[in-house]
Structure 1
Amino acid sequence: MQSSRPTSQSSGHRSGQPSAHPPGQPSERPSGSDVLIIGGGIVGLVTAWRAAQRGLRTAVADPLPGGGAAQVAAGMLAAVTELHYGEQTLLGLNLASVQRYPDFVTELEEASGRGTGYRACGTLAVALDADDRAQLRELHVLQQGSGLTSDWLTGRECRRLEPMLAPGVRGGLRVEGDHQIDPRRLSAALLTACERAGVVFHRAWADRLSVVRGRAAGAVLAGGRQVHADQVVLAGGSRSGGLAGVPAEVLPPVRPVKGQILRLTMPPGRPPFLSRTVRAVVRGSQIYLVPRENGELVVGATTEELGWDTTVTAGGVYGLLRDAHELVPGITELPLTETRAGLRPGSPDNAPLLGPTALPGLHLATGHHRNGVLLAPVTGEVMATVLTTGELPEVARSFTPLRFPTATGHLPTGPATAGPAASVRQEQPV
C-alpha cells in the first residue's frame, strides 16, 4: 500500500505532525483546527481523544456527540464468539483491540472520572437442539483452527454455570476472554475525556466536505458555517457514505444495517438471571443476552437491510422475546423497559475502513458494522498514528479504504420504507 504524508498549506507546521500549540488550550484560529472529525459516536470520540493527546488541535462536528449507534449497542467484546467464516483477517484486528481494552478502560476512566461498565465476565454460547448444537460445534472447530481458546461444555455443565438456562440446552462453548462494556457509559466517558483534553465541539452536522486545491480542508456545517482544518476524519457511521463534496471515487462504500434491541430490568432486590453474557443459536438464528451490573438485561439483535428505516416493529420485538424465552424461560417475568432500533455502518466485507483516502487530507474511520465498540481502542490508536505521521500502522493495513477502488452507485440515498417482503434476521449485535 502506498501511504502519503500530508502537508499543510495554511499553518506553520507540517499537518501530519503534532502542533506546537499546547493541547487543551483554545486554538489561535477560532474557526480552524489541525483535525476535524465528522461524527461524534464512539469511533469519532475515541479518535478525537487520542488525536488531542498527541497535541493536535482537534474539533468534532456532530449535533449530538455521544449519541448514535452507541445508544443502541449491547457492548459485547466478543472477538472469539463473533468469529465467522471468511473473517480471519478481521479477527486479528478484533483480538488486537480486545488485548488493549483493560489498559484502555483504566486510562479512560482516570481521564474522565467516569465508569464504563467494563466487566471481564466471559461469555457462554449455547445451543438448544441437535442442529444448532452441530452448528456450534463447527464454530468450535473454526475457533480452534484460528488459534482461539474456548471450552466445549455439556448441557448440564452449561446449566451449572447459568442455572436459569432452559432444561433443553444441549451444549455450549465457554469463552473466558469475551467480555462486555456498557456503550452508553463508554460514550459518556469518551465525551468527558475529549472535553478535558481540549477538543472543540461543533454541535451541528457537516453538510459538505470542503476541498481546496485538491485537498480536504474542513467542512461546511448545517446553517452554512465554514470550519477549516488541515486534516479531516470522516467517522459518521452509517451516514459516512452520503457526505456531499466527497469525490465519488473516494466516497466510502458504507450502508445502514438496521438492528432492533430490547432492554429488560430486574426488579429491586432480585438476584440477576445471568452472571455473564449468554449467546445462543435458536432455530438457526442467533440471539444474545447481556446482563449489566445495575440489573439491566440487554436482548438483541435483529439484522435488517432496510436502508434508513429505524422503526421498532412488533415482529422484531416478538422474535427477540420468543427466542430469549426459549433460552431463559423466566425472562417473561421481567419488565420490558426499552425498545430501540439503530443503524450499523456496514461495509462490503463487514470490516472497517481506516486511514488515508485517495483525496489528500481526508481519512476514514467508518464501516465498523457490528464491531464499533469492540474496535474502539485500536481504532483510536490507529487514527492518531495516521494523523500524526501519515502512516497506517501494520495492524490496520488490511483495512485501508484503498482496498475498494470505487464506492459509487450502491448506497440508499434517503429513508427506506419497510415493505411486506422485508426480512428480519436475528443475528449480529448492533
Structure 2
Amino acid sequence: MVEKHVDVAVIGGGIIGLGIAWEAIRRGHSVALVDPDPATGATQAAAGMIAPASELHYREEHLLELTVDSACRYPEFLSSLAWTGIDPGYRKTGTLVLAIDGADRTALADLRDVQTHHSLSVEQVSLREARRSEPMIGPAATAAFSAPDDHQVDPRKLAAALLAALGERGRLVRARASGLEYDGRRVTGAILEDGSFLPARHTVVANGLAAAQLAGLPCRLPLRPIYGDILRLRVPAALQPLLSHTVRGLVRGTAVYLVPRADGTVVLGATMREDGNSGVSAGGVYQLLRDARQLVPAVAELELEEALCRARPGTPDNAPLLGVVPGADGLIIATGFFRHGVLLTPVAAALCVDLLEGKPCPPGLERYRPDRFEEGQA
C-alpha cells in the first residue's frame, strides 16, 4: 500500500522522534511518525533528568552548548503541550550530589571546578544543610554539592503527551521501517517492513539503535548498545515524601541516582553495561540497591515495583549523530544520544526542523555530523 505523501516522515517513536515530530507539527508541517510500538524502548526506562551540570562528564564538555540550550528550552517546549491535559511531571527542585569516601569527595570537587569553569551553578554545601533539605540522607555521606538548576521530567508522561499531540494533529503509522528510498542524490521517503512506501519531502531517522540496520543509508551509523538496569521503587505512605530533590552520588567511584516522582515512586539507576545481555542483571540490581542504601538507607524499606533493562544507542565518541548527510537531500539523522535523549529532546527537535526548513547549520553542529566516522572525514 502506498501511503499518503507528507512533509516530514519521522522514523522512530522514542522521545527524540516524538519531539521532532511535534516540533515539525507545531511549525505547520504535515507529519507521519513510523514506529510499531512507540515510547517502549529507552524512553520507558529513562529517569528524565534535565541536568546539564550533574550530567557533565570529562571530555564531553563540547556537549554543554547543546545540553544547556536544551534545558533552557524545556519550559516553552512543555507549555506547547499543555492543551493535551497530560502533566509531564516537570519539577524544578534541583539536585543534591553526595560523596561517600575521600576519593569520591575529590572527584566531585574536581568536577565542580570544571562545572563552575563552564558557568554551571554548582556549590558545595554542608552536610547539615543537605540533611535539612533531605532528612533521609544517611550517615555514610561525607560531602554534598547542590546543583539547583538541574531539573527533571517524567519521560513516560512526556511521551504520552507527545503521542496525544501526534494523534490529534499528525499521524502515527504503527509499522516498522525497513529502509529509505534513496536514489543516490535524494531520500524521498521510508520503506516499511510490509514493502509499502511512505513518501515524504523530508525523512528523519530517529529510531535509536535500529537506525544502523535501515537499508539505503547513504553512510554507516556506528551505533552500539549500552545496556542499563533501572529500578522503580514505591515509597510506603509512612515514609512519604522520601525525597524532594533528585539525589545523586558517587559511592566508592560508582555513580548512582534516585529521582523522586509525584506518584510516590522513586527511580533508581542506572548501571552501564556493554556485555550484550539485554535482560535485567541480578548483579546490576544488587549494585544499585547496595549503593543507593549508602546515600539513603531507607531505600531498604521500599517496595520493588519494576526492574527494567534497556539499551541506549552509543557512538564511538559518545556524541550524537545529528544533522544532514552531504549527497542525501531530504534526509536528517538524529540518533546516538546515549545518556542524553530526554535532556536533548527540545534542542534536537528544533535543530532538525530548522535544517529541514533550510535554515543554515548553526556553528558547532558540524562536530555531530552523522557521516563523521566515514573514511576521509575529520
Scaled to the shorter chain, the TM-score interval is over 0.9
Q: Amino acid of the residue matched to residue 340 of structure 1?
A: L
Query: Aligned-pair distance for 1:394?
Result: 3.7
Superimposed CA distance per residue, residues 109-155 of structure 1 (whole angstroms, 9 cap, x where no aligned partner): 23x22110000010000101111111111111111111211110232
Q: CA RMSD in A?
A: 1.8
TM-score normalised by length of structure 1 = 0.84
Which one of the candidate residues 355, 372, 375 is aligned to 1:403?
Answer: 372
> Aligned partners of 2:299 and 2:142: how far apart in 1?
19
Q: What SS does structure 2 have at the residue aligned with 1:93? A: helix
Alpha-carbon distance change, 96 to 295 in structure 1, aligned in 2, over 3 angstroms: same
Partner of 1:220: 191
Percentage of matched positions with identical amino acids: 45
Assess if the C-alpha contact under 8 Å between 2:330 and 2:356 holds in 1: no
Q: What SS does structure 1 have at the residue aligned with 2:87? A: coil
Assess if the C-alpha contact under 8 Å between 2:233 and 2:302 holds in 1: yes
Which one of the candidate residues 168, 186, 205 is aligned to 2:158?
Answer: 186
Matched, 1:312 2:285: no
Partner of 1:294: 263
> Aligned partners of 1:235 and 1:251: how far apart in 2?
14
Assess if the C-alpha contact under 8 Å between 2:229 and 2:310 holds in 1: yes
Q: Amino acid of the residue matched to residue 144 of structure 2?
A: G
Query: Aligned-pair distance for 1:380?
Result: 1.1
Q: What does residue range 149-188 of structure 1 map to in structure 2 within 5 Å?
A: 149-188=121-160
Q: Amino acid of the residue matched to residue 228 of structure 1?
A: P
Q: What SS does structure 1 have at the residue aligned with 2:312? A: strand
Query: Aligned-pair distance for 1:399?
Result: 2.3
Query: Aligned-pair distance for 1:65?
Result: 1.9
> Aligned partners of 2:85 and 2:243: how far apart in 1?
28
> Aligned partners of 1:171 and 1:119: how far apart in 2?
24
Assess if the C-alpha contact under 8 Å between 1:77 and 1:180 holds in 2: yes
Matched, 1:354 2:326: no
Bigger Cα displacement from structure 2, 322-331 vs 219-228: 219-228
Matched, 1:251 2:251: no
Partner of 1:42: 15
Partner of 1:345: 313
Which one of the candidate residues 331, 355, 362 is aligned to 1:386?
Answer: 355
Partner of 2:298: 330
Partner of 2:49: 76
Superimposed CA distance per residue, residues 150-195 of structure 1 (whole angstroms, 9 cap, x where no aligned partner): 1102323222221111112111110100011100001111111122
Q: What does residue range 58-69 of structure 1 map to in structure 2 within 5 Å?
A: 58-69=31-42
Q: Amino acid of the residue matched to residue 341 of structure 2?
A: G
Q: How many residues align?
A: 375
Assess if the C-alpha contact under 8 Å between 1:76 and 1:178 holds in 2: yes
Q: Amino acid of the residue matched to residue 268 of structure 2?
A: V
Matched, 1:107 2:71: no
Query: Aligned-pair distance for 1:395?
Result: 6.1
Query: Aligned-pair distance for 1:30?
Result: 4.5
Q: Amino acid of the residue matched to residue 126 of structure 2?
A: T
Partner of 1:94: 67
Q: What SS does structure 1 have at the residue aligned with 2:137? A: coil
Which one of the candidate residues 303, 310, 321 is aligned to 2:289?
Answer: 321
Query: Aligned-pair distance for 1:209?
Result: 1.4
Query: Aligned-pair distance for 1:67?
Result: 2.3
Assess if the C-alpha contact under 8 Å between 1:120 and 1:180 holds in 2: yes
Matched, 1:202 2:173: yes
Q: Amino acid of the residue matched to residue 377 of structure 1?
A: P
Q: What SS does structure 2 have at the residue aligned with 1:63? A: coil
Assess if the C-alpha contact under 8 Å between 1:93 and 1:395 holds in 2: no
Assess if the C-alpha contact under 8 Å between 1:385 and 1:393 holds in 2: no
Q: What SS does structure 1 have at the residue aligned with 2:73? A: helix
Assess if the C-alpha contact under 8 Å between 1:40 and 1:236 holds in 2: yes
Q: Amino acid of the residue matched to residue 67 of structure 1?
A: T
Assess if the C-alpha contact under 8 Å between 1:237 and 1:366 holds in 2: yes
Q: Amino acid of the residue matched to residue 347 of structure 1?
A: T
TM-score normalised by length of structure 2 = 0.95
Structure 2 portions without partners, runs of 5+? none
Assess if the C-alpha contact under 8 Å between 1:353 and 1:366 holds in 2: yes
Assess if the C-alpha contact under 8 Å between 2:48 and 2:152 holds in 1: yes
Matched, 1:241 2:212: yes
Superimposed CA distance per residue, residues 340-397 of structure 1 (whole angstroms, 9 cap, x where no aligned partner): 0011111122222222112222210111110000011111111111111153234634
Q: What SS does structure 1 have at the residue aligned with 2:68? A: helix
Query: Aligned-pair distance for 1:269?
Result: 5.4
Q: What SS does structure 2 have at the residue aligned with 1:117? A: coil
Alpha-carbon distance change, 30 to 222 in structure 1, aligned in 2, over 3 angstroms: closer
Partner of 1:410: none
> Aligned partners of 1:286 and 1:316: how far apart in 2?
12
> Aligned partners of 1:296 and 1:278: how far apart in 2?
14
Superimposed CA distance per residue, residues 265-291 of structure 1 (whole angstroms, 9 cap, x where no aligned partner): 012354211110000000110000000
Q: Amino acid of the residue matched to residue 90 of structure 1?
A: L
> Aligned partners of 2:208 and 2:131: how far apart in 1?
39
Assess if the C-alpha contact under 8 Å between 1:259 and 1:303 holds in 2: yes
Q: What does residue range 416-427 of structure 1 map to in structure 2 within 5 Å?
A: none
> Aligned partners of 1:215 and 1:196: how far apart in 2?
30
> Aligned partners of 1:188 and 1:395: how far apart in 2?
32
Alpha-carbon distance change, 68 to 386 in structure 1, aligned in 2, over 3 angstroms: same
Assess if the C-alpha contact under 8 Å between 1:257 and 1:346 holds in 2: yes
Query: Aligned-pair distance for 1:37?
Result: 0.9
Q: Amino acid of the residue matched to residue 172 of structure 1?
A: A
